[in-house]
Amino acid sequence: MERIEGLFAAMRAASQELEWPATEARDSGLDTAGELAERYAQAISEALCGHFRSSHASLWLLDGEPGAYRLRCLGAHAVDGPSRQPPVCEQRAYPGYFDALLSEGVFNCADARTDPRLSTLQPPPTWRAMLDVSGQINGRTFGVIALGERDQARVWTKREELDLRRATAKACLHLHAWRHELEAV
């Protein structure tokens, strides 16, 4: 795994390219907030796949109320074919997943087929192995970066978890700056 500084440089470059346009510029046909967020999330996800050598990475925004939270996928990148994951993940459909993310800040799953939080779900999760980390702003969970392996189990290292926590914190700061534009998407 390459040094984390390369990932952070890619994240900085993605955020600098996506300065939010002024309202009058948006009216003149430039990219919408949703399009910019998707491009940012795809650029970040591609850099994450490269850094962690995972088959999938995605950036999600958390919204809703306690007990009825949902994650909305802002963008994703997969190196092993198109993703079949839904664009929205509802808390009621994945209670064990949300419990771990909201209480511990991480969902680390080496094998979804044997993990009791996921093994009984129908349909089964898209990813065989997952490392998802939530980011908080002012004590409130704001977004999630998700890594996945489609076809094989994977034991995620503590170093990978720590690096993903750092990357998630940076991405959530960028998203928080754009929060009002993203709420309308």
For residues 55 and 76, the answer to whether their CB atoms sit within 8 Å is: no
Taking the C-alpha atoms of residue 176 and residue 174, their distance in angstroms, rounded to an integer, is: 5
For residues 35-40, give the mean pLDDT.
83
- Say which residues have a Cβ less than 8 Å from residue 154's Cβ, sequence separation at least 6: 54, 110, 128, 129
Q: Taking the model in full, what pTM does it have?
A: 0.84
In this prediction, residue 182 has a pLDDT band, given cuts at 50, 70 and 90, of: low
Look at residue 49 in the predicted model and tell me its pLDDT: 94
- Say which residues have a Cβ less than 8 Å from residue 98's Cβ, sequence separation at least 6: 69, 91
For residue 22, give the DSSP letter: P
For residues 108-132, give the mean pLDDT.
88
Better pLDDT: 167 or 31: 167
Strands 56-63 and 70-78: what pairing? antiparallel
Percent of the chain residues past pLDDT 70, beyond the cut:
85
Q: Is the pLDDT of residue 29 over 60?
A: no
Give which of 26, 40, 44 is closest to 184, Cα–Cα.
26
Cis check: omega of the bond before 124, within 30 degrees of 0: no
Read off the tokens for 45. 């996800």
Could you tell me the CATH superfamily of domain 4-183?
A: GAF domain (3.30.450.40)
Taking the C-alpha atoms of residue 87 and residue 41, their distance in angstroms, rounded to an integer, is: 13
Taking the C-alpha atoms of residue 99 and residue 157, their distance in angstroms, rounded to an integer, is: 21
Better pLDDT: 73 or 120: 73
Give the rounded distance of the alpha carbon of 113 from its chain centre: 22
Q: Is the pLDDT of residue 181 over 60?
A: no
Domain ranges of the chain: 4-183
